[in-house]
Amino acid sequence: MKTRAALFGLSLLSSAALANDYNTQLDVDYFNVDSFDTIKIEGTYYLENVSTNNTAWSEAAFMGRNTSASLSYTDFDSDAYQVVLGGDFYHNDSFCWFRRYLF
């Protein structure tokens, strides 16, 4: 129960942070399916500020075509883990993304 309360508090904090322009984003996800816990932490850095003016907050980086780099760590019920390096690159009307599974 304490884990759920902490995650709820983090989600409220992150929603307040989205009210302004930003260039970093931290996502924490928790899943529990049939007593199988999965926790994912992902950090994203945007090279330019992401503006939330006149757009949906959840899609602001995509709509603004902001280039980014990200790193994520996923723990699968303490049995296995995954580390992923990724990013999105925008130039004019071209889009390129990459994901590299490190572990």
CB-based contact 28:9 (threshold 8 Å): no
Instruction: Give the position of tokens 């409220």.
Output: 12
Task: Report which of 44, 83, 85, 84 is spatially closest to residue 67, judged by C-alpha positions.
Answer: 44
What's the structural domain count of the chain?
1
**Contacting residues for 101 by C-beta, under 8 A, at least 6 apart:** 82, 83, 84
Sheet holding 36-50, edge to edge: 22-33, 36-50, 68-76, 80-91, 94-101
Per residue of the chain (103 residues), give pLDDT as tens.
Answer: 556 656 566 565 555 454 578 889 999 999 998 889 999 999 999 998 888 887 777 778 878 888 999 999 999 998 999 999 999 999 888 899 999 998 8
User: Which residues form the domain of 27?
Assistant: 2-101
Q: Residue 16: its pLDDT value, please? A: 46
